[in-house]
Structure 1
Amino acid sequence: MKRALALTTLLLVAACSDQPAGEPVVRASLGDEPNQAVAAPSLEVVTTEVPSACTSKSFEGVVLTHCVADPEVHTISTALAPSSGENFGTIRAWANGQDASAIAFVTNAGMYGDDLKAIGYFVQNSERLQELNRADGPGNFHLKPNGVFFGTNGRWRVLDSETFYRTVGDRPQFGTQSGPMLVIDGELHPEFQENGPSRAIRNGVGVDEDGNAHFVISEEAISFGQFARFFRDELKTPNALFLDGNVSSLWDPAKDRMDNGRVGPLLVVTRKE
Protein backbone atom coordinates (compact mmCIF):
# COMPACT_ATOMS: atom_id res chain seq x y z
CA MET A 1 0.00 0.00 0.00
CA LYS A 2 2.82 2.36 0.90
CA ARG A 3 4.55 1.67 -2.44
CA ALA A 4 1.36 2.25 -4.43
CA LEU A 5 0.76 5.55 -2.57
CA ALA A 6 4.36 6.62 -3.19
CA LEU A 7 4.06 5.88 -6.94
CA THR A 8 0.74 7.76 -7.16
CA THR A 9 2.26 10.78 -5.42
CA LEU A 10 5.28 10.67 -7.73
CA LEU A 11 3.07 10.59 -10.83
CA LEU A 12 0.90 13.49 -9.66
CA VAL A 13 3.78 15.72 -8.64
CA ALA A 14 5.85 15.12 -11.75
CA ALA A 15 3.09 15.31 -14.37
CA CYS A 16 3.73 17.78 -17.18
CA SER A 17 2.01 18.92 -20.37
CA ASP A 18 2.09 16.96 -23.62
CA GLN A 19 5.11 17.39 -25.85
CA PRO A 20 4.97 17.62 -29.63
CA ALA A 21 5.22 14.42 -31.57
CA GLY A 22 8.08 13.64 -33.92
CA GLU A 23 11.66 12.47 -33.57
CA PRO A 24 12.42 13.02 -29.90
CA VAL A 25 16.19 13.39 -30.02
CA VAL A 26 19.05 13.78 -32.44
CA ARG A 27 20.58 10.34 -32.45
CA ALA A 28 24.31 10.49 -32.90
CA SER A 29 25.93 8.23 -35.44
CA LEU A 30 29.32 6.74 -34.77
CA GLY A 31 32.11 8.84 -36.23
CA ASP A 32 34.22 11.97 -35.90
CA GLU A 33 31.54 14.27 -34.58
CA PRO A 34 31.74 16.85 -31.80
CA ASN A 35 30.69 15.91 -28.30
CA GLN A 36 26.98 16.37 -27.75
CA ALA A 37 25.28 18.28 -25.01
CA VAL A 38 23.42 15.73 -22.95
CA ALA A 39 20.97 16.05 -20.10
CA ALA A 40 21.75 13.96 -17.04
CA PRO A 41 18.88 11.63 -16.13
CA SER A 42 16.92 12.41 -12.99
CA LEU A 43 18.10 10.37 -10.04
CA GLU A 44 16.47 10.37 -6.61
CA VAL A 45 17.45 7.68 -4.16
CA VAL A 46 15.02 6.69 -1.40
CA THR A 47 15.57 3.69 0.85
CA THR A 48 12.75 1.12 0.75
CA GLU A 49 12.14 -2.32 2.21
CA VAL A 50 12.69 -3.94 -1.24
CA PRO A 51 16.35 -4.01 -2.35
CA SER A 52 17.09 -2.49 -5.73
CA ALA A 53 18.41 -4.61 -8.57
CA CYS A 54 20.51 -1.60 -9.63
CA THR A 55 23.81 -0.31 -8.30
CA SER A 56 26.12 2.55 -9.17
CA LYS A 57 29.53 1.75 -10.61
CA SER A 58 32.48 3.73 -11.90
CA PHE A 59 34.42 2.59 -14.97
CA GLU A 60 37.39 4.50 -16.37
CA GLY A 61 36.16 7.64 -14.61
CA VAL A 62 32.54 7.44 -15.81
CA VAL A 63 29.61 6.72 -13.47
CA LEU A 64 27.24 4.00 -14.66
CA THR A 65 24.04 2.48 -13.29
CA HIS A 66 24.13 -1.31 -13.54
CA CYS A 67 20.94 -3.37 -13.14
CA VAL A 68 20.95 -7.17 -13.09
CA ALA A 69 18.07 -9.48 -14.04
CA ASP A 70 18.49 -13.00 -12.63
CA PRO A 71 16.39 -15.69 -14.36
CA GLU A 72 15.91 -17.42 -11.00
CA VAL A 73 14.07 -14.42 -9.53
CA HIS A 74 13.07 -12.22 -12.47
CA THR A 75 11.08 -12.34 -15.68
CA ILE A 76 11.59 -10.05 -18.69
CA SER A 77 8.95 -8.82 -21.08
CA THR A 78 8.54 -6.04 -23.62
CA ALA A 79 5.96 -3.26 -23.70
CA LEU A 80 5.21 -0.04 -25.55
CA ALA A 81 4.99 3.38 -23.94
CA PRO A 82 1.66 5.12 -24.62
CA SER A 83 1.73 7.14 -27.86
CA SER A 84 -0.91 9.62 -26.69
CA GLY A 85 -2.26 11.15 -23.51
CA GLU A 86 -0.52 12.87 -20.65
CA ASN A 87 3.25 12.37 -20.59
CA PHE A 88 2.92 10.18 -23.69
CA GLY A 89 6.04 8.36 -24.80
CA THR A 90 7.53 8.05 -21.31
CA ILE A 91 8.03 5.28 -18.79
CA ARG A 92 6.03 7.45 -16.38
CA ALA A 93 2.96 7.23 -18.61
CA TRP A 94 3.31 3.45 -18.95
CA ALA A 95 3.80 3.09 -15.17
CA ASN A 96 0.48 4.74 -14.36
CA GLY A 97 -1.70 1.96 -12.92
CA GLN A 98 1.11 -0.62 -12.71
CA ASP A 99 1.84 -2.46 -9.47
CA ALA A 100 5.19 -0.96 -8.56
CA SER A 101 5.83 -3.65 -5.94
CA ALA A 102 6.13 -6.24 -8.73
CA ILE A 103 8.55 -4.18 -10.83
CA ALA A 104 12.29 -4.65 -10.43
CA PHE A 105 13.11 -2.05 -13.09
CA VAL A 106 12.11 -0.83 -16.55
CA THR A 107 14.33 0.56 -19.32
CA ASN A 108 13.92 1.73 -22.89
CA ALA A 109 14.15 -1.25 -25.25
CA GLY A 110 15.58 0.07 -28.50
CA MET A 111 15.18 2.55 -31.31
CA TYR A 112 11.86 3.75 -32.67
CA GLY A 113 10.28 5.99 -35.29
CA ASP A 114 8.12 9.08 -35.13
CA ASP A 115 5.16 6.91 -34.11
CA LEU A 116 7.14 5.62 -31.09
CA LYS A 117 7.03 2.08 -32.50
CA ALA A 118 10.13 -0.08 -32.94
CA ILE A 119 12.01 0.27 -36.21
CA GLY A 120 13.42 -3.24 -35.85
CA TYR A 121 12.33 -6.68 -34.69
CA PHE A 122 9.93 -6.46 -31.77
CA VAL A 123 8.02 -9.25 -30.04
CA GLN A 124 5.59 -8.70 -27.18
CA ASN A 125 3.88 -11.61 -25.40
CA SER A 126 5.01 -13.96 -28.20
CA GLU A 127 3.35 -11.72 -30.81
CA ARG A 128 5.64 -10.28 -33.49
CA LEU A 129 4.78 -6.62 -33.91
CA GLN A 130 7.72 -5.82 -36.20
CA GLU A 131 9.79 -8.04 -38.46
CA LEU A 132 13.57 -8.29 -38.34
CA ASN A 133 15.10 -5.24 -40.04
CA ARG A 134 18.09 -6.29 -42.19
CA ALA A 135 18.15 -3.14 -44.33
CA ASP A 136 21.08 -0.80 -44.72
CA GLY A 137 20.74 2.82 -43.75
CA PRO A 138 22.13 5.73 -41.74
CA GLY A 139 22.49 6.07 -38.00
CA ASN A 140 23.52 3.78 -35.20
CA PHE A 141 20.77 1.21 -35.74
CA HIS A 142 22.20 0.36 -39.17
CA LEU A 143 25.83 0.24 -38.04
CA LYS A 144 26.29 -3.46 -38.83
CA PRO A 145 26.36 -5.75 -37.11
CA ASN A 146 23.31 -4.75 -35.13
CA GLY A 147 21.50 -7.28 -32.97
CA VAL A 148 18.56 -8.69 -31.06
CA PHE A 149 17.96 -9.19 -27.33
CA PHE A 150 15.38 -11.92 -26.82
CA GLY A 151 14.27 -14.75 -24.60
CA THR A 152 11.81 -17.44 -23.61
CA ASN A 153 11.19 -19.02 -20.20
CA GLY A 154 14.13 -17.36 -18.51
CA ARG A 155 16.68 -18.13 -21.22
CA TRP A 156 17.87 -14.74 -22.43
CA ARG A 157 20.27 -14.11 -25.30
CA VAL A 158 21.90 -11.39 -27.37
CA LEU A 159 22.80 -12.26 -30.97
CA ASP A 160 23.83 -10.21 -33.95
CA SER A 161 20.94 -9.87 -36.40
CA GLU A 162 22.36 -12.12 -39.12
CA THR A 163 23.09 -14.94 -36.67
CA PHE A 164 19.60 -14.51 -35.23
CA TYR A 165 18.12 -14.70 -38.74
CA ARG A 166 20.03 -17.90 -39.57
CA THR A 167 19.70 -19.80 -36.31
CA VAL A 168 16.55 -18.79 -34.43
CA GLY A 169 13.50 -20.54 -35.84
CA ASP A 170 11.04 -20.34 -32.97
CA ARG A 171 9.50 -17.01 -32.06
CA PRO A 172 10.61 -15.93 -28.56
CA GLN A 173 8.34 -14.64 -25.82
CA PHE A 174 10.01 -11.25 -26.11
CA GLY A 175 12.50 -9.67 -28.48
CA THR A 176 13.85 -6.28 -29.43
CA GLN A 177 16.30 -5.27 -32.15
CA SER A 178 18.70 -2.35 -31.93
CA GLY A 179 22.21 -1.45 -32.95
CA PRO A 180 25.07 -1.46 -33.09
CA MET A 181 26.24 -4.54 -31.26
CA LEU A 182 28.68 -3.54 -28.53
CA VAL A 183 30.37 -6.92 -28.06
CA ILE A 184 30.27 -9.81 -30.55
CA ASP A 185 31.62 -13.19 -29.40
CA GLY A 186 33.95 -11.47 -26.93
CA GLU A 187 35.22 -8.84 -29.37
CA LEU A 188 34.30 -5.16 -29.56
CA HIS A 189 32.38 -3.94 -32.59
CA PRO A 190 34.97 -3.54 -35.39
CA GLU A 191 34.01 0.10 -36.05
CA PHE A 192 34.62 1.28 -32.48
CA GLN A 193 37.63 3.36 -31.58
CA GLU A 194 39.19 2.82 -28.17
CA ASN A 195 37.73 6.07 -26.93
CA GLY A 196 36.25 7.92 -29.90
CA PRO A 197 34.98 11.51 -30.00
CA SER A 198 31.26 10.63 -30.09
CA ARG A 199 30.05 10.95 -26.50
CA ALA A 200 26.51 10.66 -25.17
CA ILE A 201 24.39 9.17 -22.42
CA ARG A 202 24.03 5.54 -23.55
CA ASN A 203 22.41 2.32 -22.46
CA GLY A 204 22.73 -1.29 -23.45
CA VAL A 205 22.20 -4.90 -22.43
CA GLY A 206 24.34 -8.02 -22.33
CA VAL A 207 23.95 -11.58 -21.06
CA ASP A 208 26.71 -13.34 -19.14
CA GLU A 209 27.59 -17.03 -19.27
CA ASP A 210 25.42 -17.73 -16.21
CA GLY A 211 22.38 -16.38 -18.03
CA ASN A 212 22.04 -13.12 -16.10
CA ALA A 213 21.02 -10.07 -18.14
CA HIS A 214 22.99 -6.90 -17.42
CA PHE A 215 21.38 -3.55 -18.18
CA VAL A 216 23.62 -0.48 -18.05
CA ILE A 217 22.91 3.24 -18.35
CA SER A 218 25.71 5.79 -18.26
CA GLU A 219 25.10 8.73 -15.94
CA GLU A 220 27.61 10.77 -17.95
CA ALA A 221 28.54 11.05 -21.60
CA ILE A 222 30.57 8.04 -22.69
CA SER A 223 32.17 6.82 -25.91
CA PHE A 224 31.07 3.64 -27.66
CA GLY A 225 34.46 2.00 -27.11
CA GLN A 226 34.49 2.70 -23.39
CA PHE A 227 30.89 1.59 -22.99
CA ALA A 228 31.55 -1.67 -24.84
CA ARG A 229 34.66 -2.38 -22.75
CA PHE A 230 32.58 -2.20 -19.60
CA PHE A 231 30.38 -5.03 -20.87
CA ARG A 232 33.31 -7.11 -22.09
CA ASP A 233 35.87 -6.53 -19.35
CA GLU A 234 33.80 -5.88 -16.23
CA LEU A 235 30.53 -7.71 -16.81
CA LYS A 236 32.06 -10.54 -18.89
CA THR A 237 29.21 -10.61 -21.39
CA PRO A 238 30.35 -12.30 -24.62
CA ASN A 239 27.59 -10.46 -26.51
CA ALA A 240 26.11 -7.07 -25.72
CA LEU A 241 23.77 -4.73 -27.57
CA PHE A 242 23.46 -0.94 -27.65
CA LEU A 243 19.87 0.12 -26.97
CA ASP A 244 19.87 3.90 -27.45
CA GLY A 245 21.54 7.20 -26.66
CA ASN A 246 20.29 10.34 -24.97
CA VAL A 247 16.77 8.96 -24.54
CA SER A 248 18.14 6.24 -22.24
CA SER A 249 15.72 5.94 -19.32
CA LEU A 250 15.24 3.87 -16.17
CA TRP A 251 12.45 3.30 -13.67
CA ASP A 252 13.75 1.79 -10.44
CA PRO A 253 10.86 1.78 -7.93
CA ALA A 254 13.07 0.61 -5.07
CA LYS A 255 15.02 3.87 -5.33
CA ASP A 256 12.16 6.09 -6.51
CA ARG A 257 14.02 6.78 -9.71
CA MET A 258 11.84 7.72 -12.66
CA ASP A 259 13.60 9.13 -15.73
CA ASN A 260 11.63 11.34 -18.07
CA GLY A 261 13.16 10.65 -21.49
CA ARG A 262 10.98 10.11 -24.55
CA VAL A 263 10.82 6.37 -25.23
CA GLY A 264 8.83 3.88 -27.29
CA PRO A 265 9.60 0.16 -26.80
CA LEU A 266 10.29 -0.88 -23.20
CA LEU A 267 11.97 -3.77 -21.41
CA VAL A 268 10.14 -4.65 -18.20
CA VAL A 269 11.87 -6.70 -15.50
CA THR A 270 9.49 -8.05 -12.86
CA ARG A 271 9.97 -10.13 -9.74
CA LYS A 272 8.67 -13.67 -9.73
CA GLU A 273 6.01 -14.37 -7.12
Structure 2
Amino acid sequence: MRIAAVLLALFLPGVASAVTCENARYEGNRYTICTVRPAEENLRLFLRDDAGEILGQFSSIEAHLPEGQTLSFGMNAGMYHLDRRPVGLYLEEGEQESRLYPNSGPGNFGLVPNGVLCIRSTRADVIESLEYQADTPDCTYATQSGPMLVIDGQLHPRFLPDSTSKFVRNGVGTSADGKTAIFVKSENSVNFHEFARFFRDILKLPQALYFDGKISRLHAADLDRSDPGFWMGPIVGVVE
Protein backbone atom coordinates (compact mmCIF):
# COMPACT_ATOMS: atom_id res chain seq x y z
CA MET A 1 0.00 0.00 0.00
CA ARG A 2 1.42 3.37 -1.04
CA ILE A 3 -1.14 5.49 0.74
CA ALA A 4 1.37 7.14 3.11
CA ALA A 5 3.32 8.47 0.14
CA VAL A 6 0.11 9.61 -1.53
CA LEU A 7 -1.03 11.51 1.56
CA LEU A 8 2.36 13.18 1.89
CA ALA A 9 2.15 14.35 -1.72
CA LEU A 10 -1.33 15.75 -1.23
CA PHE A 11 -0.27 18.40 1.22
CA LEU A 12 3.23 19.33 0.05
CA PRO A 13 3.45 22.66 -1.80
CA GLY A 14 4.70 22.68 -5.34
CA VAL A 15 3.43 19.22 -6.33
CA ALA A 16 2.81 19.05 -10.08
CA SER A 17 -0.79 19.30 -11.23
CA ALA A 18 -2.21 15.88 -12.07
CA VAL A 19 -4.99 13.55 -11.03
CA THR A 20 -3.35 10.69 -9.15
CA CYS A 21 -5.17 7.43 -8.50
CA GLU A 22 -3.85 4.77 -6.15
CA ASN A 23 -4.91 1.48 -4.62
CA ALA A 24 -5.09 1.14 -0.83
CA ARG A 25 -6.10 -1.34 1.86
CA TYR A 26 -7.59 -0.67 5.29
CA GLU A 27 -8.98 -3.15 7.79
CA GLY A 28 -8.98 -5.86 5.13
CA ASN A 29 -10.94 -3.78 2.63
CA ARG A 30 -9.65 -2.60 -0.74
CA TYR A 31 -10.11 0.94 -2.05
CA THR A 32 -9.13 3.05 -5.05
CA ILE A 33 -8.51 6.71 -4.28
CA CYS A 34 -8.20 9.54 -6.79
CA THR A 35 -6.88 12.91 -5.65
CA VAL A 36 -7.79 16.18 -7.35
CA ARG A 37 -6.57 19.73 -6.67
CA PRO A 38 -9.46 21.91 -7.88
CA ALA A 39 -7.34 25.04 -8.30
CA GLU A 40 -5.07 23.19 -10.71
CA GLU A 41 -7.45 20.77 -12.45
CA ASN A 42 -10.63 21.27 -14.46
CA LEU A 43 -12.95 19.52 -12.00
CA ARG A 44 -16.58 19.68 -13.07
CA LEU A 45 -19.92 17.87 -13.34
CA PHE A 46 -21.51 16.33 -16.42
CA LEU A 47 -25.15 15.53 -17.06
CA ARG A 48 -26.39 16.40 -20.56
CA ASP A 49 -24.98 16.81 -24.06
CA ASP A 50 -25.64 19.82 -26.29
CA ALA A 51 -28.97 18.33 -27.40
CA GLY A 52 -30.14 17.97 -23.81
CA GLU A 53 -29.74 14.19 -23.71
CA ILE A 54 -28.25 12.70 -20.56
CA LEU A 55 -24.70 11.49 -21.19
CA GLY A 56 -24.74 8.62 -18.71
CA GLN A 57 -21.45 6.94 -19.67
CA PHE A 58 -17.78 7.87 -19.47
CA SER A 59 -17.43 7.11 -23.18
CA SER A 60 -20.26 9.55 -23.96
CA ILE A 61 -18.40 12.31 -22.10
CA GLU A 62 -15.21 11.54 -24.03
CA ALA A 63 -17.12 11.79 -27.30
CA HIS A 64 -18.76 15.05 -26.15
CA LEU A 65 -15.50 16.83 -25.27
CA PRO A 66 -13.87 19.23 -27.74
CA GLU A 67 -11.01 17.89 -29.82
CA GLY A 68 -7.79 17.75 -27.84
CA GLN A 69 -9.51 17.27 -24.46
CA THR A 70 -9.85 14.01 -22.57
CA LEU A 71 -11.50 12.73 -19.41
CA SER A 72 -8.69 11.82 -17.02
CA PHE A 73 -10.97 10.96 -14.11
CA GLY A 74 -14.68 10.27 -13.70
CA MET A 75 -17.11 8.90 -11.12
CA ASN A 76 -20.87 8.69 -10.69
CA ALA A 77 -21.85 11.59 -8.44
CA GLY A 78 -25.24 11.35 -6.81
CA MET A 79 -28.62 9.67 -6.86
CA TYR A 80 -30.91 9.88 -9.86
CA HIS A 81 -34.46 9.03 -10.95
CA LEU A 82 -35.33 6.21 -13.35
CA ASP A 83 -34.97 8.66 -16.24
CA ARG A 84 -31.53 9.59 -14.77
CA ARG A 85 -32.50 13.11 -13.74
CA PRO A 86 -30.72 14.11 -10.51
CA VAL A 87 -32.38 13.59 -7.15
CA GLY A 88 -31.67 16.68 -5.07
CA LEU A 89 -29.68 19.78 -5.92
CA TYR A 90 -27.85 19.88 -9.22
CA LEU A 91 -26.00 22.91 -10.63
CA GLU A 92 -23.93 23.00 -13.80
CA GLU A 93 -22.06 26.17 -14.76
CA GLY A 94 -24.26 28.05 -12.29
CA GLU A 95 -27.55 26.86 -13.81
CA GLN A 96 -29.83 24.92 -11.47
CA GLU A 97 -31.56 21.83 -12.83
CA SER A 98 -33.08 20.49 -9.60
CA ARG A 99 -33.65 21.81 -6.10
CA LEU A 100 -32.07 21.11 -2.73
CA TYR A 101 -33.61 18.49 -0.43
CA PRO A 102 -32.69 20.00 2.97
CA ASN A 103 -34.36 17.23 4.97
CA SER A 104 -35.25 13.59 4.44
CA GLY A 105 -35.75 12.65 0.83
CA PRO A 106 -35.95 9.45 -1.22
CA GLY A 107 -33.52 6.57 -0.80
CA ASN A 108 -30.34 7.28 1.11
CA PHE A 109 -31.36 10.95 1.32
CA GLY A 110 -33.53 9.77 4.19
CA LEU A 111 -30.45 8.95 6.26
CA VAL A 112 -29.95 12.60 7.21
CA PRO A 113 -27.81 14.61 7.39
CA ASN A 114 -27.07 14.55 3.69
CA GLY A 115 -24.81 16.97 1.83
CA VAL A 116 -23.64 18.80 -1.26
CA LEU A 117 -20.40 18.71 -3.23
CA CYS A 118 -19.78 22.35 -4.23
CA ILE A 119 -17.14 23.01 -6.90
CA ARG A 120 -15.73 26.48 -7.48
CA SER A 121 -12.84 27.70 -9.62
CA THR A 122 -10.23 27.30 -6.90
CA ARG A 123 -11.74 24.87 -4.40
CA ALA A 124 -14.18 22.05 -3.75
CA ASP A 125 -16.14 21.53 -0.54
CA VAL A 126 -18.48 18.95 0.90
CA ILE A 127 -21.14 20.91 2.81
CA GLU A 128 -23.95 19.52 4.97
CA SER A 129 -27.29 20.38 3.31
CA LEU A 130 -28.80 22.52 6.08
CA GLU A 131 -25.55 24.48 6.30
CA TYR A 132 -25.62 24.91 2.53
CA GLN A 133 -29.20 26.16 2.70
CA ALA A 134 -28.42 28.63 5.52
CA ASP A 135 -25.36 30.13 3.82
CA THR A 136 -25.43 29.16 0.16
CA PRO A 137 -22.03 29.50 -1.53
CA ASP A 138 -21.62 30.60 -5.13
CA CYS A 139 -20.95 27.17 -6.63
CA THR A 140 -20.14 26.72 -10.30
CA TYR A 141 -21.11 23.07 -10.04
CA ALA A 142 -22.99 21.32 -7.24
CA THR A 143 -24.49 17.89 -6.70
CA GLN A 144 -26.41 16.74 -3.65
CA SER A 145 -26.22 13.23 -2.29
CA GLY A 146 -26.42 11.42 0.98
CA PRO A 147 -25.81 10.47 3.60
CA MET A 148 -22.87 12.50 4.83
CA LEU A 149 -20.06 10.12 5.80
CA VAL A 150 -17.97 12.49 7.93
CA ILE A 151 -19.29 15.72 9.45
CA ASP A 152 -16.74 18.07 11.04
CA GLY A 153 -14.45 15.13 11.73
CA GLN A 154 -17.19 12.91 13.21
CA LEU A 155 -18.84 9.87 11.67
CA HIS A 156 -22.51 10.07 10.74
CA PRO A 157 -24.34 9.30 14.01
CA ARG A 158 -26.54 6.57 12.53
CA PHE A 159 -23.75 4.36 11.19
CA LEU A 160 -23.38 1.00 12.95
CA PRO A 161 -19.98 -0.74 13.19
CA ASP A 162 -21.55 -4.21 12.85
CA SER A 163 -24.04 -3.37 10.09
CA THR A 164 -24.56 -6.23 7.64
CA SER A 165 -25.67 -3.85 4.84
CA LYS A 166 -22.61 -4.05 2.62
CA PHE A 167 -22.15 -2.83 -0.95
CA VAL A 168 -19.41 -1.58 -3.23
CA ARG A 169 -19.61 2.15 -2.42
CA ASN A 170 -18.18 5.43 -3.66
CA GLY A 171 -17.92 8.96 -2.29
CA VAL A 172 -15.82 12.09 -1.90
CA GLY A 173 -14.10 13.93 0.92
CA THR A 174 -12.61 17.42 0.96
CA SER A 175 -9.89 19.11 2.99
CA ALA A 176 -10.70 21.99 5.35
CA ASP A 177 -9.14 24.54 2.99
CA GLY A 178 -10.97 23.17 -0.06
CA LYS A 179 -7.71 22.66 -1.94
CA THR A 180 -7.95 18.88 -2.09
CA ALA A 181 -10.80 16.57 -3.06
CA ILE A 182 -10.32 12.83 -2.68
CA PHE A 183 -12.70 10.49 -4.49
CA VAL A 184 -12.91 6.91 -3.21
CA LYS A 185 -14.42 3.70 -4.56
CA SER A 186 -14.38 0.53 -2.50
CA GLU A 187 -13.31 -2.54 -4.45
CA ASN A 188 -15.23 -4.93 -2.22
CA SER A 189 -18.47 -4.62 -0.28
CA VAL A 190 -18.27 -2.44 2.83
CA ASN A 191 -20.79 -1.00 5.27
CA PHE A 192 -21.24 2.72 5.87
CA HIS A 193 -19.21 2.67 9.09
CA GLU A 194 -16.20 1.02 7.43
CA PHE A 195 -16.37 3.34 4.44
CA ALA A 196 -16.66 6.49 6.57
CA ARG A 197 -13.77 5.45 8.83
CA PHE A 198 -11.50 5.25 5.79
CA PHE A 199 -12.20 8.92 5.02
CA ARG A 200 -11.81 10.01 8.64
CA ASP A 201 -9.02 7.81 9.99
CA ILE A 202 -6.82 7.23 6.92
CA LEU A 203 -7.46 10.18 4.62
CA LYS A 204 -7.95 12.56 7.60
CA LEU A 205 -10.71 14.50 5.85
CA PRO A 206 -13.12 16.56 7.99
CA GLN A 207 -16.05 16.32 5.54
CA ALA A 208 -17.06 13.41 3.33
CA LEU A 209 -20.14 12.57 1.29
CA TYR A 210 -21.56 9.28 0.04
CA PHE A 211 -22.42 9.06 -3.65
CA ASP A 212 -23.85 5.58 -4.21
CA GLY A 213 -23.64 1.82 -3.80
CA LYS A 214 -24.19 -0.99 -6.31
CA ILE A 215 -23.84 1.52 -9.19
CA SER A 216 -20.39 2.77 -8.14
CA ARG A 217 -18.15 3.25 -11.16
CA LEU A 218 -14.72 4.77 -11.75
CA HIS A 219 -12.86 6.09 -14.79
CA ALA A 220 -9.15 6.56 -14.08
CA ALA A 221 -6.80 7.15 -16.99
CA ASP A 222 -3.93 7.01 -14.48
CA LEU A 223 -4.78 3.33 -13.91
CA ASP A 224 -5.86 2.59 -17.50
CA ARG A 225 -9.32 1.84 -16.11
CA SER A 226 -12.87 2.70 -17.13
CA ASP A 227 -15.54 0.63 -15.37
CA PRO A 228 -18.42 -0.61 -17.53
CA GLY A 229 -21.89 -0.94 -16.09
CA PHE A 230 -25.21 0.76 -15.45
CA TRP A 231 -26.12 4.05 -17.09
CA MET A 232 -25.50 6.93 -14.69
CA GLY A 233 -27.04 10.31 -13.92
CA PRO A 234 -24.68 13.06 -12.66
CA ILE A 235 -20.99 12.35 -13.22
CA VAL A 236 -18.05 14.21 -11.68
CA GLY A 237 -14.85 14.35 -13.68
CA VAL A 238 -11.61 16.06 -14.57
CA VAL A 239 -10.93 17.24 -18.11
CA GLU A 240 -7.31 17.42 -19.27
**What is the TM-score of this pair, normalised by structure 2?**
0.83
Alpha carbons 1:204, 1:240 under 8 Å: kept: yes
Name the CA shift for 1:79/1:88 in 2 (closer, same or farther; >3 Å).
closer
Residue 115 of structure 2 corresponds to residue 147 of structure 1 = yes
CA RMSD between the two structures: 2.3
**The structure with more radius of gyration:** 1
Q: Identify the range of structure 1 (61-70 vs 138-147) with the bigger mean alpha-carbon deviation.
A: 138-147
Q: 2:31 aligns with which of 39, 44, 64?
A: 64
Aligned to 2:72: 104
Q: 2:183 aligns with which of 198, 207, 215?
A: 215
Percent of pairs identical after alignment?
Answer: 38
Name the CA shift for 1:78/1:138 in 2 (closer, same or farther; >3 Å).
closer
Q: 2:166 aligns with which of 199, 207, 210?
A: 199
Uncovered stretches (5+) of structure 1, i.e. residues with no partner: 1-49
Residue 216 of structure 2 corresponds to residue 248 of structure 1 = yes
Q: Identify the range of structure 1 (147-156 vs 240-249) with the bigger mean alpha-carbon deviation.
A: 147-156
Deviation at 1:260, TM superposition (A): 1.7
Name the CA shift for 1:259/1:100 in 2 (closer, same or farther; >3 Å).
farther
Paired residue secondary structure (1:96): helix
Aligned to 1:267: 236
Aligned to 1:19: none
Residue 201 of structure 2 corresponds to residue 233 of structure 1 = yes
Mapping of residues 135-174 of structure 1, within 5 Å: 135-168=103-136, 170-174=137-141
Deviation at 1:152, TM superposition (A): 1.2
Aligned to 1:179: 146
Q: Distance in 1 between matches of 2:209 and 2:159?
A: 13
Uncovered stretches (5+) of structure 2, i.e. residues with no partner: 1-16
Could you report, residue by residue, the CA deviation over 1:156-197 in whole angstroms, capped at 9, with x for unpaired residues?
Answer: 1111100110011x4310000000000001100000012411
Paired residue secondary structure (1:264): coil
Paired residue secondary structure (1:191): coil
Deviation at 1:100, TM superposition (A): 7.7
Aligned to 2:157: 190
Deviation at 1:67, TM superposition (A): 0.2
Alpha carbons 1:53, 1:105 under 8 Å: kept: no
Q: 1:80 aligns with which of 42, 47, 72?
A: 47
- Runs of 4+ that moved beyond 4 A: none
